[in-house]
Amino acid sequence: MTLLALCITFLVLLMLGMPIAFVIGMSCLVALVVSGESMILLPHFMFIGIDSFVLVAVPMFVLAGEIMLKGKMTSALTDFADILVGRFRGGMGHTNIAASVFFAGITGSASADTTALGSVLIPTMAERGYSRAYATAVTIASSVIGPIIPPSLTFVIYAMAVGGVSIGELFVAGIIPGLLVALALMVMNYRISLARNYEKRTERYSWRFIGATFRASILVLVMPLLIVFGVLSGEFTATEAAAVASIYALVICMAVTRTLDVRDLPGFLFSTAKTSSIMFLLLATSSVLSYILATQGVPQLIASAFEAVTDNKYVFLLLLNIILLLIGIVLDLFPAIIIFGPIFATIAQGYGVDPVHFGVIFCVNLLLGLNTPPVGSGLFIGAAVGKVRLEELIREVRPFILMELLVVLIITYVPFLTTTLPRSLTALLGSP
């Protein structure tokens, strides 16, 4: 009865359009009332859900991204991306995707990627003959690269939820999958651009312009390297790395490029607080939901269901991918990680799946849900930024989602793509 009340309340509130954090919180409240448990459990587990020192990294990474964004570092990255890939057919589409790869080193957030790059590149692509819906589709499809390549808030939340997994190793493990996603999207963009006769850049840039763009871009691209090598070498923790990233961004934008001054500080501090508070509310209510599911024996039921179906690791991974895709369709990213991460990570250990490999599979799979209806936040943000109808955007983004699904299958069944690099770097840097 408790689970039934939880599910009905969740679905009804979700269909009414209530924000997902409140949907989860109200559903948990109804479930506690039906089960007869004390209401004190609601604030108790909400507090437990955010009572972790690791989570200090979240506002720090968000702050670093805000500083870089308001410090106008995106233009150098888009110019650099255009220099590298703009001369291929569909050049501005390739530039959009490559810029997302570089931009990943700033925020690790898909929504920030869509908003910052989309506001610049979508109008530019439209001026060069691309449909606005297609330009927006490229933008939101490539935005999922942001949370895969370090620094990644998604991996921070996953490591906190599951425990026993190195954040530094997860950061490094995401590099190759992120690049594979970018390559797959570029292949699809090239094919569509050929069919629709989209543009490519024909003019050549001067060496002077290339040198100036590279110098401006390198200031941004150093930040993810600083974070990854610092964490893996043991020089600082992930939380300290986030603070270092914020200080680095502040120094660059205020002392080197001088695109910010002291008067700008209150604005992006407020923006950081607002973004972080939304994320913490999601984590808090998801913690209550995890408790209710655990007391109702849901993890054991899921484990038993897998064991009844198969004892083969590869079949388990296939079923897992299907289930995660369905979860991503109906549940937002961070609640899905908090609720299901510990459950599936434990089951995966029983099948002998490497914890770092599993973490990448789990997170990348759920990230695809950002661009799938009905609750995909990437779709709604993209439609607002690109000023296009949601139906048109969904139609245009489907080929790119198929390519991302192909990458998910590749990283699922070729584990060395995710495990070799973190282990090699850990051994090289001597991290304990």
Q: What is the pLDDT of residues 244-263, one digit of tens each?
A: 888 888 888 888 878 788 78
Mean pLDDT value across residues 397-404 = 94
The phi and psi torsions of 89 (rounded to 5 degrees) equal -60, 135
Confidence class for position 432, pLDDT limits 50, 70, 90: very low
Least confident residue range of 129-138, 202-211, 342-351: 202-211
pLDDT greater at residue 93 or residue 333: 93
- Residue 370: partners with Cβ closer than 8 Å, 6 or more residues away: 110, 140, 143, 144, 328, 333, 376, 377, 378, 379
- Whether pLDDT at 3 is above 90: no
Q: Tell me the pLDDT band of 429, cut-offs 50, 70 and 90.
A: low
Q: What is the pLDDT of residues 150-168, one digit of tens each?
A: 878 888 889 888 888 888 8
Does position 365 have pLDDT exceeding 50, yes or no? yes
User: How much is the average pLDDT of 65-81?
Assistant: 75
Evaluate whether 274 touches 373 at the Cβ level (below 8 Å): no
Q: Please report which helix (H) or strand (E) contains residue 224, including its range.
A: helix 207-232
How far is the first Cα of the chain from the last one, in angstroms, to the nearest whole number? 48
The answer to whether 113 and 104 have CB atoms below 8 angstroms apart is yes
What pLDDT is recorded for position 199?
Answer: 84
Report d(CA 91, CA 355) in Å as an integer: 38
Q: How far is CA 210 from the centre of its chain?
A: 30
Chain center to CA of 206: 35
The Cα 213–Cα 347 span in angstroms is 48
Identify the residue with better confidence: 22 or 231. 22
Quote the pLDDT of residue 105.
Answer: 66
Residue 397 banded pLDDT, cuts 50, 70, 90: very high
The predicted-structure confidence for 290-310, as pLDDT tens digits, reads as follows: 888 888 888 788 888 888 888
Tokens 């439609």 -> residue: 383
Note the pLDDT of residue 121.
84
**The pLDDT of residue 108:** 66
pLDDT confidence tier of residue 79, bands split at 50, 70 and 90 = confident
Alpha-helical (H) ranges within 233-312 are 238-251, 265-295, 298-309
Q: Is the pLDDT of residue 140 over 80?
A: yes
| pLDDT confidence tier of residue 269, bands split at 50, 70 and 90 | confident
- Please provide residue 164's backbone torsions phi and psi, each rounded to the nearest 5 degrees: 75, 10
